[in-house]
Chain A
């Protein structure tokens, strides 16, 4: 009955460097890099242009985003630790159940997981840049910014995007961002949550002194990155209209 967290199911483990839960909850970055490299090569052979390659990578990530939304939203409640869980745990572990009507009443309820469905623009963006990022990469995104010029544009910034850790973009591919796959995931999450958006990944040069990593490089021997990944989220007009209506 109690949804205990001692599960060792592989689907319950996050992909990333520091799941921090149990031994083996981390997927090897090398294994991921090899498979991602194959994915990019597969699509590169079939794409005629840089933008088509990016679109293909985005659509590969889109489905992942939908599933990640389900999984992360489902798990989010376990982390939050509401009193609901405590009551259930007591019930499961103690032979003596206090004869409070409140608890009895609750016990008859279906074991809903009390997941909060994000309905507001800022909350879903926060959910993506913290919860989703943590479950995928083992860390939160570095910052979430709002565009000054356009009210419908937001930026999620990651200074160490995992997907492109070992990628060097050749000069003839110019503006290609190797993190297009991740932008597809973000688009999938947002779309699945009812916030239709166009998400694109951009590789932007890091200014001098803008960011310094604590605790050395990710990979020993490889110099720190010179570019950051900026995920530009452009919401469709109806999402903004709805959010404005909710504001009132």
Chain B
């Protein structure tokens, strides 16, 4: 935050939250580091081109792998408690929070949001459910390939809509 008050500061009775809370982006990386889906989730999401996203996806994939190697504490078999490969679970910055859910098959669901956004973990798990429903049961989806299932993207949009407007998780 920028310290900008040179004048006498008014007594802060009620300060608005420092950041607008909201989801920014969802991206999904397959087990070899290829980006299989990216989707802006809110109006505040920065505009990033698909090529950039491909780069971010594979960079994140590498960092995730390095993080698991670099950690001084090795979990048994380098697996976390959920049975997935160990690695980055969360990155926090001033204006961004990034959370990663890696599944046992090596798919990484990564969600970025503004700090303070509630329910990121729950949304990630829900997106995992939607992926296994809408993409994996679709005869026209090929594993490890980009997700082009209309049903999946619609479901993700309506999930985010529900969480933002309703404030409650349905399940």
Instruction: Give the CA-CA distance A223 to B150 in the complex, in Å.
Output: 11
- Pick from A30, A178, A222: contact of B155, CB under 8 Å: A222
**Is the interface on chain B under 10, 10 to 19, 20 to 34, or 35 or more residues?**
20 to 34
* Contact residues of A between 11 and 43, Cβ < 8 Å to B: 30, 33-34, 36-41
Which of A38, A167, A178 has the largest number of chain B CB atoms within 10 A? A167
Instruction: Give the CA-CA distance A41 to B143 in the complex, in Å.
Output: 12
Cβ-defined contact, B137 with A33, below 8 A: yes
Residues of A within 8 A of B88 (CB): none
A166 and B150 contact, Cβ closer than 8 Å, known pairs A36-B139, A223-B158: no
Instruction: Give the CA-CA distance A244 to B49 in the complex, in Å.
Output: 65
Cβ-defined contact, A168 with B170, below 8 A: no
Residues of B within 8 A of A34 (CB): 137
Whether, in the assembled complex, A219 has its beta carbon less than 8 Å from a beta carbon of chain B, the answer is yes
Instruction: Say what secondary structure dominates the interface of chain B.
Output: helix
Question: Would you give the 0/1 interface string for B121-151, flagging 1 where the beta carbon is closer than 8 Å to chain A?
Answer: 0000010011001100111110000001111
A-B Cβ contacts below 8 A, count: 57
Closest CB-CB distance, A82 to chain B, in whole Å? 42
Closest CB-CB distance, B120 to chain A, in whole Å? 17
Cβ-defined contact, A168 with B140, below 8 A: yes
Cβ-defined contact, A221 with B129, below 8 A: yes
Q: Which residues of chain A have a CB within 8 Å of any CB of chain B? A: 30, 33-34, 36-41, 44, 165-170, 173, 178, 219-223
Task: Identify 15 new A-B residue pairs, CB closer than 8 A, beyond the known A221-B133, A221-B170.
Answer: A34-B137, A37-B138, A37-B139, A41-B139, A166-B137, A166-B138, A166-B151, A168-B134, A168-B141, A220-B170, A221-B155, A221-B171, A222-B130, A222-B133, A222-B155
